Chains A and B, each alone.
Chain A
C-alpha cells in the first residue's frame, strides 16, 4: 500500500490496553440490544478521494470500505494478528485449489442482497472481476494479472471478458477462477477491497462521488469531498458471518472533513467528534497521553518508513555508500521525530516485526545482531572514504509534512557528517510519491513509507525491490531505488512458489532474502510506526485489526 494510504494509517501507535473491551460475559445479541443505535462521528482534515472501492487505494477509505462492501473472501474482523486471517465472505467457504493450484471454485452464498435491494448473483461476481480491468484499477496489473485472460484485459481494458479466467455457473451458483500459474497469495489478493463484488450493471468508470450499492451493514448515503461522507444502515443487510461482516452497532456514521489536526484533537476532547483520522499533532501527544489516556489506543502497524537510495545515480550507485548511510543513521533519534519510543520502533530490515518472514536481524549497528543498538559512524566514514565519493552533492526529496521533513532534515545532517554536500527538497505530498519514483527526476535519495496491502512477505520485498517493479521514466515505478538483482528476483519467485506447498519454509527463505537485500542496502529502513486512535469517551468496544485498523462496525456509542 502506498504512502498516501499509509499516511492515513500513519497515525500510529501502541495501545496499552487491550484492543477489545467487549464484555465477554454478555452474548452478542445482548450487547447488540443494549448498545445498538446512535451516530458515530468521525473527522479528518481532508477526504480520501473517490469512493469507488475498486479504485480507491487509501488506508483512509479502505477502513470504511469494509463496512460497505464484501468480496468472495475477506480478512477476519478481529483484533490483532487474527485480523490478517482470510475468511469466507460472500463465498460459503474457502475453496481448496485444484488443477495444480491454478483453479479455485467459489460457492456463492444465497440470500444476500445489495443495498438497493437486488440479489447478489454469479453475474455480479464475474462482472466485478471484469470491472477491475475495465476501469484499469490500480492493482489490476499487480494483484490480478495472474488470472487467465488478464493479459488481454490489461492490453484492452474496455473489451475485458476474462474469458476462461472467471467463469460463472448460474445454476450451481459457483464462480470458477483459473490462474495462469499457482499463486499462494491469490486468496489474500481477492480479500482486499479492490476485489469486492458490485452490481453487474455498475458503470465501468470511476464512480467518483457517486455511491455504488454494496452488501455490508452500511451504505454510502451521501458524499461531498469538501464536507462529509455519510453512511447509513443498509436496510437489506442480514448478518451471515460475524467473522467476515458483523452487523454494526451504530445506526449512522458521519465522516466530516476540513478540520485541522489541532481542531480534531479539540473536537474529540470536547465530545464533538468520536474519532480523528489524522495523527494528533506532536504538541498535543503528551496532553492526550496524560489527560486522556483512557481514550487513547496505540497499536503496532505492519509498515515501515525508509529512505530509498537510487542505485543508478552517484553516490548511491556505490554499495559502500548505501551501507555507510545505513550504519550512520541513529534510528533512535528518528523515533523521536515520529513522537517517541511509544509510537515507533527502530528497524534496520525491510519486513516489519510480526510480519510473515520477519526474523529479527540487524547488520547495520554497533555489535550487529538481532536488534539495532546504535549507529556506527566510524565504519560509515570508513566506507565513504573507501568509496571516494565524499564532497558530492546529495539532495534528499521529502514530503511537505512535519514528519517527512523532520526525517529529511535529520538525514541531511547525517550525510553532511559523512562528508557530502547535502540539501533537502520538500515538495508537496500530492506529488512527492510519484516524483521520487520517476527516474527522469534523478532523485538520489528520498523518504517514503510502505504499509501492507495484505500479510505476505512478497507485498514488501517483491513489490518494493523486484526488477518487475522498476519502470524507468514512469511515475509508477515503486522500486524507487531502481535496484534490480536477477539472482534475488529468482529467489523471490522460488519463495512464492514454495509458499504453495510449504509456507513455513517459504517464510524462512523470505527472511534470508530480506537479509540479502539489506546487504546490498538499496534502502535504509528507519522505523516502524504505530497507529494511534484517539476516541471520545462515549465510544466503546474498540477492536483493532492489523489489516483494517479500527473496526468501526464493532464500536458502539451508547
Chain B
C-alpha cells in the first residue's frame, strides 16, 4: 500500500519562537496555528463533518432505544409495520422456484429500517451508528497507542544515539519492511483464534483491544522514524546543548525541552493516523479478523452487505460511504493542520 508521505515539520523551535515583528499581539504559535486553520474553509468543513460523524455515532444507543430494537440480535423471524401493514423482515421469495430470502429494503423512514435490514434481519442504520462508534474508538485508541509507542521509541533512539539508536532503528526497519496489511492480517489470524495473556491482563479473542493493539503497533515505524529524525536535530540545538551543559537530568531535558517541540509533528500525525486506522480496521473486519460478530464496525457491515449487493446494495454502500466521508475529512483536516503548524508556511 502507499501511505501519505511522513509529515516532517520544521523543528518546533520555529513555531515556538515568537514573531518579533508583532510582539505586542502576544499571539503564541498555537493560537497562530488555530487562526490559520480557522481561515481554511475546507478544514472547517472537514472538522464539522467529523464532529457530526462522532455525534451521530454517540447517538447510537439512543437511536436504537427509540426504535425499541437491539441491532445485535438476529431478527430472522421478525415483522415490521409499514404503512399500517405487518411485513416480514426477511421475506422468502414467492416467485418462480421460491429461492432465496430478501431482507426488508430501505424504508427511508427514521422510524425503523431507514437503510433496510441485513441478512440477520437487523436494522442497518442502527448498526451503522454502532459500527461507526466501534470504528472510531478503535481508530482513536490505536492512534493514541501508536503515538505513545512511536514517541517513546523516537525519543530514546534519537536522544541516546549510538548502539541504542542502531538497535531500535533496525527493529523499526524490520517492522516497516513488512507490508502493513500482511503484518496486520498475520497478527490478527494468530491472535484471534485464542485469548492471550499479558501479565495480569487477559485479552479475549473477540475483544476490541486486539484490533486496537494490532493497528497501533503496525504503524509505529511510520511515526517513530520521523520523530527520531527530529529528536536527532533537536539534540544538537543550542537550547538542548545548554541544558545538558547545565547538568540538567536527561528526563527533564526530554520532558521540558525536547517533547514540547515534537508536539506539532505529533498533532499533524493524529488525523493521518486516524484515517489509516479506520481503513485498516475496516479491511481487517471485512476479512473477519477485526471486530467479531455480533459487534459491528463499518468493515463488518460491508462484509454483511457483500452478499446482498444485487438485492440490497445499501447494506454495503452505507458503511462504504461513511468510511469515504470520514477518511476524506480526516485527510483534508490533516493537510490543513500540517499547513497551519508549519512555521515555514506563510499561512493562508
Contact = CB atoms under 8 A, between A and B. Distances in A.
Interface in B267-322: 288, 292-294, 307-312
Interface stretch (A118-126, A290-298, A299-307): A290-298
A333 B99 contact: no
Contacts of B310: 262, 281, 283-284, 287
B192 interface: yes
Interface in A12-53: 13, 16
Interface stretch (B87-95, B135-143, B162-170, B252-260): B87-95
A424 B76 contact: no
A283 B193 contact: no
B96 A293 contact: yes
Interface size class of B (residues with CB under 8 A): 35 or more
A405 interface: yes
B205 interface: yes
Contacts of A387: none
Contacts of B189: 427-428
A373 interface: no
A425 B205 contact: yes
Given A337-B76, A406-B119, A286 B294 contact: no
Contacts of A341: 92, 98
Interface residues of A, number: 50
Interface stretch (A356-364, A407-415, A474-482, A544-552): A407-415
B236 interface: no
Contact of B192 (A262, A334, A410, A425): A425
A406 B97 contact: no
A195 interface: no
A405 B293 CA distance: 8
A324 interface: no
B100 A289 contact: yes
Contact of B93 (A286, A402, A441): A286
A498 B135 CA distance: 60
Contact of B102 (A13, A262, A286, A413): A286
Query: Chain A CB within 10 Å — which of B74, B76, B206 has the most?
Result: B74
Given A290-B95, A290-B96, A342-B99, A425 B74 contact: no
B293 to A, nearest CB: 4
B101 interface: yes
B81 interface: no
A343 interface: yes
Interface in B179-225: 189, 192-194, 204-206
A336 B293 contact: no
A99 to B, nearest CB: 50
A427 B308 CA distance: 22
Contacts, number: 139
B73 interface: yes
A230 interface: no
Nearest to B312: A283
A290 B292 CA distance: 35
A402 B307 contact: yes
Interface in A109-128: none
Contacts of A289: 93, 95-100
Interface string B102-117: 1000000000000000
A286 B100 CA distance: 5
B120 interface: yes
B77 interface: yes
Contacts of B72: 413
A257 interface: no
Interface string B34-77: 00000000000000000000000000000000000000111011
Given A406-B119, A409-B293, A427-B193, A282 B100 contact: yes
Interface in B221-256: none
Contacts of B93: 285-286, 289-290, 340, 342
A287 to B, nearest CB: 7
Contact of A435 (B76, B95, B193, B292): B193
Contacts of B288: 400, 405, 426-428
B293 A412 contact: yes
A400 B99 CA distance: 23
Contact of B293 (A283, A333, A408): A408
Contact of B99 (A332, A337, A343, A402): A343
Given A291-B96, A409-B293, A330 B194 contact: no
A283 B102 CA distance: 7
Interface string A158-187: 000000000000000000000000000000
Given A289-B93, A402-B119, A424 B206 contact: yes
A321 interface: no
B99 A288 contact: yes
A283 B98 CA distance: 13
Contacts of A214: none
B120 A283 contact: no
A256 interface: no
A508 B308 CA distance: 44
Nearest to A14: B97
A283 B292 CA distance: 23
A16 B307 contact: no
Nearest to B120: A409
Given A342-B99, A410-B74, A424-B293, 4 more contacts: A283-B310, A287-B310, A289-B97, A290-B93
14 contacts: A283-B308, A290-B96, A290-B97, A296-B99, A333-B77, A336-B101, A337-B119, A343-B99, A395-B204, A400-B288, A412-B293, A412-B294, A413-B72, A532-B99
The 4 closest A-B pairs by CB, nearest first: A285-B100, A289-B99, A290-B96, A333-B76
Interface of A: 13, 16, 262, 281-291, 293, 296, 298, 330, 332-334, 336-337, 339-343, 395, 400, 402, 405-406, 408-410, 412-413, 416-417, 423-428, 431, 435, 441, 532
Interface of B: 72-74, 76-77, 90, 92-93, 95-102, 119-120, 189, 192-194, 204-206, 288, 292-294, 307-312
